[in-house]
Structures are given as C-alpha cells and as structure tokens.
Amino acid sequence: MKQFIMSMLVVVSLATVAMAHTLFMVLCDNEDGTITVEGMYSTGAAASSTEVRLEDPEGKVLFQGKTDMDGELEIKKPSGPYVVIMDGGPGHVVQEEGL
C-alpha cells in the first residue's frame, strides 16, 4: 500500500509539472492595418521565438512567422476572415479568430 501511495504522489507531481505552463495569446488591432500578436506562458515567461500562423477558414496559410524575444509579432491584417494560431509545441497551441 505504501508503494501505491508513493506511485500516486509521483504521478500527481508529474501532472502538476506538465500543466505548470499554459500558453496564452492576446490579439490587438492596431487600427493601422496591422495586428499585434502577443504570447505569454502562465509562468510569466514571454513566448519568444514561438511560431505564429494566420490561416483562412479553409486552412490555407496566409502568413507564418515567429514572435520576437518579448513574445510579440506585428502582422499586416488580412482583408478577409482569418484565424491566428500560436504554436509553442505539443500541448501549447492556442488559436483565436481574427479581429
């Protein structure tokens, strides 16, 4: 029984570590024909060098780039509908409809 409890504590600890940093994304319309995408982890760390894609409703890639060291990227705003996808790797992908 003691070994079972220790095993469960290890599993819970690993799950906590795995969930310890969630990726968040903020979109801002700069009202000058551009948008700013900002990414940050729940730990407070900037999502630097993180892939950002803009896709149309059919999944066609309209833009692909990476955030700067502050986790920010300014992009020319597409004329039609689009989705912004920030991809920080497995388990760290967020998306939001364009502004």
Domain ranges of the chain: 22-97
Q: What is the pLDDT of residue 20?
A: 56
Q: Which fold has domain 22-97?
A: Immunoglobulin-like (2.60.40)
Q: In whole numbers, what is the pLDDT of the chain averaged over residues?
A: 85
Q: What is the pLDDT of residue 63?
A: 97
Could you tell me the pTM of the whole model? Answer: 0.77
Averaged over 19-27, what is the pLDDT? 85
The span from the CA of 24 to the CA of 98, in Å, is 15
Distances (CA, A) of 63 to 59, 73, 89: 11, 12, 18
Q: What is the pLDDT of residue 66?
A: 98
pLDDT tens digit string along 34-71?
Answer: 999 999 999 999 999 999 999 999 999 999 999 999 99
Best CA proximity match to 93, nearest among 48, 53, 56: 53
The span from the CA of 94 to the CA of 22, in Å, is 10
